Structure formats: C-alpha cells, structure tokens
Amino acid sequence: MLAYFAIRSGRLLLTAFLVLLFAFITLRLSGTPIDKMYPEGITAEAEAALLKEWGLDRPMPEQFVRYVGQILQGDFGVSLQSRRPVVDIYLEVLEPTLILGGVAFVLSILLAIPLGVFCALRYGGLADSSINAASFVVYAMPHFITAILLIYLFGYVFHLLPTVGAYGPLNYVLPVTVLTLGSLASLTRYMRGAMLEQLGAEYLRTARAKGLSEGHVVYRHAFRNALIPIVTLIGMDIIGIVTGSLLVEVVFAWPGVGRVFIGAVQNRDYAVFQCGILFYSFIVVIVNYLVDLTYMLLDPRIRVDA
Amino acid sequence: MLIDSLRKSRWRGIAAAALTVATVVASTVPAAASELRIGVSSHPNTLALNETGNDAAQFLYNIYDTLIEVDVYAATPKFKPGLALSWTQISPTVTELTLRPGVTMHDGRTMTAEDVVFSLNRVFESKDPRFATAKGRFFDNFAKAETAGDMTVRVITHRPEPLFNVLISSRNAGITSKAYVEEMGPDKAALQPVGTGPYKVVEVKDKRETVLERFDGYWGAKAPVDRIRYLRVGELAARVTALVNGELDFITNIPPDQAKLIPTDKFTLVGTTWPMFHVVVLNMSDPVLKDVRIRRAMNLAIDRTALTNALWGKEGIPATAHQFPNYGEPLYIPGLKTIKYDVAEAKRLVKESGYDGQPIRISFQPNYYLYFDLAAQAMADMWSAIGLNAKIEQVEKYDYKTVQMRPWSNPMYYPDPMGAFDTHWSKASWTTTRKMFQPQNPEWDKLYETARFETDPMKRRDAYKNLITIGEEEAGWILLYQPHEYFAMRKGVEWKIPVGLRPYALTFGDGQIKLGAK
C-alpha cells in the first residue's frame, strides 16, 4: 500500500517536472517577449540590453536550473511585462476562477446524475431520446462556440445578461452555463450508460426475486453501483472545466487565472506562463491521483491488487 | 441576417419583454454617477512615459501633460503653454522654458524644475533601454535637459531643432514626479504612474482593466467625467455586444464592415481615415531583395485601389505618396503621386533582373494589424502575376537575419512630414540599424538633412518631395493604404477625434467629452 502511494506521488512530481521542462523550452523556442512588447520594432542594441537585464541572454539550461532553484525556494519570479511578482498576479484572479469552475462543477454533477438516471429509467422513450440527442449536440460543440452563441442571444439580441467581466452575480450566469453545459452533456451520457448497464445486470433479478421494492432495487443497488465508474469521470469533469475555463474566460473577458495564463502565452511572459503551467499540470495530476485513490477505496479489487 | 429574421419573427415579442428586464440587469459593470466605460482592444504593458504604441495613446494624454501643448482639434499644429508658461530659444541649440508655478502632481507634490529635468532626461539620455524606442522616434537630436533656477529649465539639442515645439509636446516628453519614481522604483511607478494631467490613475489590473479618476488638483479646467474605466475586451464581437448590451459606453477599433452591427438609433459612430499607412518593410540586405529591380517591381505590382476597396471599403484611402494633408500647405503637396501601379513595367523589371524563381516570403505575426493576413494573400497573388515566386508565412517572431518582408505601419505621430517619416526611416530607427532599410541613392542623406533640419519651409518641402520620390524608387518600403476605423458610443456621449494628435489618441479633458444621460 505504501509502495503504491510512493510510486503514485513520484509519478506526480515527475509529470509536473516534465510538463514544466517542455513548456520552458517550447515557449523560449517560439521567441522572446521583445517581439510582443515592441511589435513596432526595436533596435538590436536595446533588445540585447533588455535580454541581458532579464537574464534571457544566458544559455537555456542555465536559465532552467536557475528557475527550478528559485521555485524550490518558493520564488516564482516576476512578470516581464508588469514587473509584479507572479504569485500576486495569480492570487488576485484566483477567486473568480474558483467560483466559476466550482459552481459549474457542482451544477454539472447535481444535474447530470439525476438526468442520467431519469434517461436510463425511460430508456428509448421520447424524453430519453431528446435528452440524449441534445447531449450529443452540446458535447460536440466547442466551448467558445456555445459561448459566442449565448453572448449573441442573451447580450446582443435580447440584452438580458451581461457578457464581460465579473462585476456581479449576473455576470456568472453565461460563463457558468457554458462550462456546465459542456460537462453536463458528457456526464449525463455516461451516467445513463452506467445505469443501463446495472439495470440489465443479473444481480438485480436476484434482488427483485427476493421481493425488494422497485425503488429499493433501483436506488439502493443499481444506482450505487452505477456511481463507481462516474467517480473517474468526475475527475475528467474537473479537468474539462479547468481547461474549458481557459477559453471561456477569454471570450467573456473574465478576470481569472485562465485569461492571465492565455495572456502570458500570447505575450511570452515566461515567468507568468511557467507558474500557470505548473498550476494547471498540478491540478490535472492531483485530480488523477485523487481519482485513483477514491477508486481504490470504492473498489476492493484494486485495493487487493495494489 | 439572423438578427433581422429574429427581429421580424415572434421573437420580437419576447425581446420586447426582455428589454424591460434588461435595463435592470444588464448594466452590471459598476457605473459611478459620471463614469465612462470604454472597451479597448489592447492595453499597453505599463502606463509609463516610454510607451509609444497605439494602445498607450488611449491613456497617456489623460494622465500626463507636456511643457508645450498642442490644440488637439487643430488639424495643423497650434501650440500653447502647457507646463511651461513661456519658452525662448537662447542659442541655436538651447531653449529656456519658464515653468508654470503651483502645478500639483498626482502624488500631491508640487512640480519643480527637478521633476521636469528628471522626466525629460529619462528619455533624452535613454540610459534605460526601455526608453530607446521613444528616444529614437522623437528625441534623437535632444541631448539633455538641465535646471536653470527653481522654475526654469533648459533643453539642449545636438543641433538646432526646427521641430522643437512639436517634439516637446509629444507625450513621451510628459512630466512625472521624480520623488515618486525614486520612492516606488521605476517598475511600480510605471504601473501606477504619477503625472500632472486631468485624470489620475487609481486602479490598474494587469492589462485587463484600468481606472482613471478626475484629478481635483489639476492646474487647468477640471475634467468633466468622474471616472474613466478602460476594459480590455480583445474580441471585436464581444466589444460590440458589450456596447449594444449597455455594459460599455464607448468602444474602439471597429473596421467598416463590422460597424454595420451597431444600431445607429441608439449609438453614435465616429469614423476616421487615419493619417497612417499600413506598410510592408522590405529587407534590402536580403540576397534576393537587394536587387532594386525586384523591389521596384514588387512596388509597381500592387493594385492599391482594389486592395483598399476590398478591405476598408470606400472610406479607406490607397497610398499615393508618403504624405498627409494634416501637414498643411506648403509642406503638404496636393496631387503629388509618387506611387505607381504598372504591371507591364513590373514584369519587365523582373525579367531584366534575371530572377531565378527563389521564393519571396511575406512574414507576419498573427493579429498584428487588422486584415494584414488578407492583404498578404492578395499581394502574393499580385506578385505571382508578375513572375515572382511569392509565399506568405505566419511567424511567431521575426528573425532579422532571414526575414525578407514584414508588415509595419507609419502613423503620423505629429503633423509634419517628419512626423510619419523621421519617426520610422531615420538612421536611429530599427529599420536602419537592423540593415533592412539602406537607401543607396547618393542624394538621400543630403535631402534627408534638408527635410529634417532646414528652417525654410519651401526648401524643406522640395527636399521632402525629392526624398519620397527617391524612396519609392529605392522601394525599401511598400505603402499600402490608410485604414478607416470607427469609434462607437452610446447616445448621450459626445466625443470627437482629436485630429491634432497622433492616431488612436483618446482625450477626455475639459471640453473634450460630454457625458449625457443614458
């Protein structure tokens, strides 16, 4: 058991390290912040002086070793553009992102599980077919298309909801809807599938044969077992919301982590980008890690194998 | 189409009902009693005095003042006292300026000669490489500033400076508080700067949102708006929607084909054809492009009228010569046409050059200038038609060792032939120092000298005319067109373009904006 934890934790750190290394190299290969900070051009002398000031004239391996040394001491550097500490920049925008993602996550689960069960119980009926078809459409639609469509309808045509920034509760409605819809579509379909699988299982016949009521059979037996595969998907759901929020934040001019991160990529603001990529990769690996652990707790067979 | 059909259908009823609710809910961007909410497409890195970009021009005029000011609505420059009450040239290279007393800066301190000298020398001496662009563009001839008493400063130029007034009124010669910059350090001071202008910076959120507030200690007439909130809304569709939806009062950078989306019964469109050329810079050191016949052929092969009509509609202006009417006569020469369209001659030149089919690449960064990707494709076709193997290439960065062409723009930074020329093609410009622009004509330097430093306007005019005529023959640049853009604002906001300033400048001081009821 201890070895299982140790291996998993080791993998977690290794993954984050490799992601950082890859990101560090690729962004530098794509150019320097100079091209973005001075798009109108700059003399070679001024460029050289700035690169020297920022330490970007040093060989890349040296830059990387120095950076890793800094982050091990908790120093994530300063933004080349705004000269502010990177951590301050992210902390300032963490709250709107967490609320946006958190609300979308809770809503998608609260809606998807009952919807999936509902569809499974009415398998083949009109409600099931309609919800299933709608799920396919929403699932196939990229977040930014849904976002632009909603902005167009609720902002441009009907003037019903605000479309930029995070100034009040109403500003949350459209971005939360976009993120929720994306996860809801996939989770509902999986929940429906998992439930259908359980409803057709042999052990339910036994349960019914024992004289248990239909409600008892469905909710105490089928539903509980159908939830196990969903746990893994909830992990995917969190990752989907985190990555989806990158685009959604840009489209809605949302003052969040995603917009800062995308801005850092666009401007090649190295330190901001590197901190962001660490943040995102940690979320992904930690969520996977937690899913593995939860799965192990829920399914005794994995526990034994481990 | 969809909008129309929606409006005509039964959705109209729903929309009408929804509108009632909308007025209550939609305007959630906080709006103070008198607040102007502006949606801008881009935001400068900082609000410091080294910023020279179009994005910075939206802010700097409201935050900083200069020693000499210019009438922002006069098409040809009219100078007036700013932070200096008077100025006299005491020798051919020294101008003495008497400062306005009792000017309070945004940090509460009173402006002194020390502040002025500190501010000017940051850019004149350009010890910090961040100021090198501003120095090269405007102040290459400015040596230093020095104090000559508590309220007197002297500005010393290397050579007599005929453009002294116009250059010293450029925003990069704005005045900040020396003590504040020293206390805060240059980085923090650049983000939350102190000026002497009608508005002070109260909130800056990392290139997303910046709030200016009326500065009640302003030395001149107080600003008419309590707060100006700039929001960066990069997507054009999102900016338009936020305006139509009542979330913003004013938006920038709307190309003609998108202006149709804004209903003119509730919103005002203010359009302008900028005194600015979109330009292609050719690398004259490149093995293929160093042949002047190839460059000249490329310049002759562009059908600028077709290109302009397709991209900017009737409002865009195809380039005919490197000049703008804003200079005023005699410096502006009406009817001058140095740029020609001659496909037959272009073909002949290509043939004569013995061009062997090596690829010619137009490199460009995505989203640098609106529609450049489309212009590049059209130009590549026009060049293919004269026998060149033209390719377009989207790049993340320019490698100046190998780049053959890149887009650029030549805005008129100040209303003088040098305002769009010296700022881009001087020996201090990166185009020259990176050896992209290297005119070979032996007359060039002499003509440049006269156009830049001569005091007799007629001599300057003639020299400039010859200079730009030779420039077209050298074909180190290809001037394309003057783009047309719109600003849009809700009814009740009255604002007009400050034609006396550089393109994209936004000014909201006394008499420059009226903010009526919604």
The stretches of A30-155 forming alpha helices (DSSP H) are: 33-37, 44-53, 60-72, 86-121, 126-140, 143-150
Q: Encode pLDDT of B437-454 as tens digits.
A: 999 999 999 999 999 999
Torsion of CA B435, B436, B440, B444, to 10 degrees: -90
B175 with B76, same domain? yes
Q: What is the pLDDT of residue B6?
A: 35
pLDDT the model gives residue A45? 85
Q: For the residues A264-288, what does the mean pLDDT come to? A: 87
pLDDT at B306: 96
Instruction: Examine the pLDDT at A31 and tell me if it is beyond 90.
Output: no
CB B274 within 8 Å of CB B503? yes
pLDDT of residue B488: 98
Burial code (b: 16+ CB inside 10 Å, e: under 16) for B266-280 equals ebbebebebbbbbbb
**Closest-approach residue (CA) in chain B for A259:** B208
**ω into B330 cis (within 30 of 0):** yes
At B15 the pLDDT is: 41
Whether A70 and chain B come into contact, CB under 8 Å, resolves to no
The reply to whether A137 falls in a domain is yes
**Burial (0-12, 13-18, 19+ Cβ within 10 Å), B10:** exposed
Structural domain that includes position A149: 86-298
Q: Quick one: average pLDDT of B2-29? A: 41
Residue with tokens 């074909």: B475
- This model of the complex carries an ipTM of 0.82
For residue B13, pLDDT over 70 is answered with: no
Which tokens is A218 given?
């469905």
Q: Is residue A112 part of a domain?
A: yes
Q: What is the pLDDT at residue B9?
A: 42
B-chain residue closest to A33, CA distance: B397
B479 and B282 in contact (C-beta within 8 Å)?
no
Residue range A188-205: average pLDDT? 87
Q: Are residues B107 and B119 in the same domain?
A: yes
Q: Say if residue A37's pLDDT is above 90.
A: no
Contact between B429 and B132 (Cβ < 8 Å): no
Alpha helices (runs of H) in B202-267, residue ranges in sequence order: 236-244, 256-259
Number of domains present in the structure of chain A: 1
pLDDT per residue as tens digits for the range B375-429: 999 999 999 999 999 999 998 778 888 999 999 999 999 989 999 999 899 988 8
CA distance B85 to A61: 56
Angle between helices A223-251 and A143-150 (to 10 degrees): 70
What phi-psi label fits residue A33: left (phi over 0), alpha (psi between -120 and 50 degrees) or beta?
alpha
In a domain, B450, yes or no: yes
Domain annotation covers residue A206? yes
Query: Do both B220 and B266 map to the same domain?
Result: yes
Question: What are the chain B neighbours of A160 within 8 Å (beta carbons)?
Answer: 18, 21-22, 25-26
When pLDDT is cut at 50, 70 and 90, the band that residue A301 belongs to is: low
Three-point CA angle B484, B486, B487, nearest 5°: 150
Residues B80 and B145 reside in one and the same domain: yes
How close is the nearest chain A Cα to the Cα of B396, in Å?
A: 6
Q: Which pLDDT does position B30 carry in this prediction?
A: 52
Determine, for residues A84 and B136 on separate chains, whether the beta-carbon distance falls below 8 Å. no
Q: For strands B79-81 and B317-318, give the pairing.
A: unpaired
CATH number at residue A126: 1.10.3720.10
Q: Closest Cα of chain B to A19: distance in Å? A: 21
Contact between residue A183 and residue A191 where contact means Cβ atoms under 8 Å apart: no
pLDDT interval class at A295 (50, 70, 90):
confident
Mean pLDDT rounded to a whole number for chain B: 91
Average pLDDT over residues B432-441: 92
pLDDT for residue B177: 98
Are residues B337 and B468 located together in one domain of the fold?
A: yes
Mean per-residue pLDDT, B23-49: 75
Structure tokens at B489: 């604002």
Q: Could you tell me if B257 and B369 lie in one domain?
A: no
> In the prediction, which pLDDT does A287 show?
85
pLDDT digits 0-9 by tens, A123-136: 989 999 999 899 88
Beta bridge partners of B86: B98
Q: Does B17 touch chain A (CB under 8 A)?
A: no
| Angle CA B258–B6–B18, to nearest 5 | 100
pLDDT of residue B31: 52
Residue A22 lies in a domain: no
- For chain A, give the percent of residues with pLDDT over 70: 97
Does one domain contain both B101 and B245? no
Query: So what's the pLDDT on residue A146?
Result: 92
- A5 falls within a domain: no
pLDDT given for residue A280 in this prediction: 86
Statement to judge: residues B345 and B204 lie in one domain: no
Query: Considering CB atoms only, which of B15, B396, B400 is closest to A31?
Result: B396
Whether B16 shows a pLDDT value over 50: the answer reads no
Least confident of A166-180, A227-241, B56-70: A227-241
Tell me whether residue B122 is in a domain: yes
CB-CB contact of B254 with B240 (8 Å): yes
From chain B, the residues in CB contact with A252 under 8 A are: 238
Residue B360 domain flag: yes
Shared domain check, B289 and B217: no
Specify the CATH number for the domain of residue B91. Answer: 3.90.76.10
Number of domains in chain B: 3
Helix (H) or strand (E) holding A16: helix A2-29
Q: How far is B129 from chain A (nearest CA, A)?
A: 5
Residue where a domain stops, chosen among B155, B182, B209: B182
Q: Is it the case that residue B3 has pLDDT exceeding 60?
A: no
Neighbours of B329 (CB within 10 A): 11
A43 interaction partners in chain B (CB closer than 8 Å):
132-133, 136, 428-430, 433-434
Beta pairing partners, B405: B282
- In this structure, the answer to whether residues B104 and B238 fall within a common structural domain is no
Q: Tell whether the model's pLDDT for residue A67 goes beyond 80.
A: yes
**Whole-number pLDDT of residue B8:** 42
Domain-embedded: residue A148: yes
Which 8-state DSSP code applies to residue B46? -
Residue A42 inside a domain? The answer is no
- pTM as predicted: 0.86
Per-residue pLDDT at A300: 65
Range of the domain at B95: 68-182
**Together in a domain, B410 and B281:** yes
The answer to whether position B94 is within a domain reads: yes
In tens, the pLDDT along B153-188 reads: 999 999 999 999 999 999 999 999 999 999 999 888
Among the candidates B182, B217, B238, a domain finishes at B182
Pairing of strands B360-364, B390-394: parallel
Residue B63 lies in a domain: no
Interface of B with A in 303-322 (CB under 8 A): none
Chain A nearest CA to B340, separation (Å): 27
Residue A180 makes CB contacts below 8 A (sequence gap 6+) with A103, A104, A107, A108, A111
CA dist., res. B356 & res. B27, Å (int)? 62
Gap between the Cα atoms of B50 and A38, Å rounded: 11
CB B242 within 8 A of CB B252: no
Same domain, B37 and B76: no
In a domain, A4, yes or no: no
Is B369 a residue whose pLDDT tops 60?
A: yes
CA distance A57 to A72: 23
Q: What is the mean pLDDT of chain A?
A: 87
A29/B contact by beta carbon, under 8 A: no
Q: Binning pLDDT at 50, 70 and 90, where does residue B7 land?
A: very low
Q: Cβ distance B460 to B310 under 8 Å?
A: no
Last residue of a domain, one of B151, B182, B213: B182
**pLDDT value at residue A111:** 94
**What is the model's pLDDT at position B291?**
96
Q: Give the residue from B6, B247, B434 with the most A CB atoms within 10 Å of its CB, the best one to mutate.
A: B247
* pLDDT recorded at residue B19: 41
Res B396: pLDDT: 78
Q: What is the domain-level CATH number for residue B211?
A: 3.40.190.10
Would an 8 Å CB–CB cutoff place B365 in contact with chain A? yes
